């Protein structure tokens, strides 16, 4: 697959993200304008909860979905607080909830609290709304823990499992994504994957699309089953589509 073809495929599966501490209304307006580029559009924008309404105003009438984050980035263990935050985000118009799994609970083998959290949020995220569970694989580190976290989310009916918040030293890796994809395949459930954090070039995007094609079969990875969480890969994808040499851009996610 040429860089241009791959870039089109990746762009349409992109969760165009701004989770910077300095995000403003103007930044959200610019993000949404990019999201609606005719060469896409992207699958979703992913923004802080306080910007969900602003994104909704910008994207009204489009196919671009609005994702937001809860229990982010720390992956705390207060279930009632997280369900309150989720309910508020959904009321504001979020279509997709990216929930950070209580990954420290997984590390200390307290799997009950992790499952309780996902189950409680899953109950709220209904209809055509999606639940993505962030495993924070760079902090879990151990392949067995990554597999365990994947299974908790899959068995609690997550729609996607996602590698990372993008806020830790290690974000998405192909090794973690492979473990996650194999867990999805073994489960037989219709669960998608979202590599996120540190994806900045067309070659980075290719790694994850190739991995999905190899493990799940060609054609499996569509916006319904595969997302890339990134802010900084957008310009490289557009450059590849236009036949320009892509430049690596910097971004906080």
At residue 66, φ and ψ (nearest 5 deg) are -115, 115
The active-site residue, picked from 3, 159, 194, 204, is: 194
| Distance (Å) of CA 163 to CA 177, 205, 242 | 7, 14, 29
Q: Where are the alpha helices (DSSP H) in the chain?
A: 3-12, 25-35, 52-59, 79-92, 103-107, 111-124, 137-140, 143-155, 174-187, 202-216, 234-241
The active-site residue, picked from 18, 98, 159, 204, is: 98
Q: Is 162 one of the annotated active-site residues of the chain?
A: yes
Return the SS3 of 72.
coil
Q: Is 194 one of the annotated active-site residues of the chain?
A: yes
* Number of Cβ atoms within 10 Å of the Cβ of 147: 18
The active-site residue, picked from 34, 115, 132, 162, is: 162
Tell me which residues are annotated as active site: 98, 162, 194
């Amino acid at each position: 697959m040429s860089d241009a073809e791959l870039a089109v495929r990746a762009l349409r599966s992109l969760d165009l993200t701004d989770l910077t501490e300095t995000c403003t209304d103007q930044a959200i307006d610019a993000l949404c304008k990019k999201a609606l580029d005719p060469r896409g559009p992207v699958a979703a924008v992913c923004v802080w909860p306080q910007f969900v309404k602003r994104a909704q105003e910008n994207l009204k009438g489009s196919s671009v979905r609005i994702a937001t984050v809860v229990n982010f980035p720390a992956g705390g263990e207060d279930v009632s607080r997280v369900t309150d935050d989720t309910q508020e985000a959904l009321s504001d118009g979020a279509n997709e909830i990216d929930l950070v799994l209580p990954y420290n609970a997984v590390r200390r083998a307290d799997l009950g609290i992790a499952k309780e959290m996902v189950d409680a949020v899953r109950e709220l995220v209904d209809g055509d709304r999606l639940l993505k569970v962030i495993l924070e694989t760079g902090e879990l580190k151990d392949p067995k823990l990554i597999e365990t976290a994947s299974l908790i989310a899959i068995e609690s009916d997550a729609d996607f499992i996602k590698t990372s918040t993008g806020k830790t030293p290690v974000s998405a890796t192909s090794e973690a994504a492979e473990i996650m994809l194999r867990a999805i395949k073994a489960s037989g459930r219709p669960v998608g994957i979202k590599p996120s954090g540190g994806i900045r070039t067309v070659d980075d995007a290719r790694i994850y699309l190739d991995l999905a094609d190899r493990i799940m079969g060609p054609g499996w990875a569509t916006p319904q089953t595969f997302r890339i969480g990134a802010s900084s890969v957008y310009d490289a994808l557009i450059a590849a589509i236009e036949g320009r040499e892509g430049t690596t851009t910097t971004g906080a996610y």
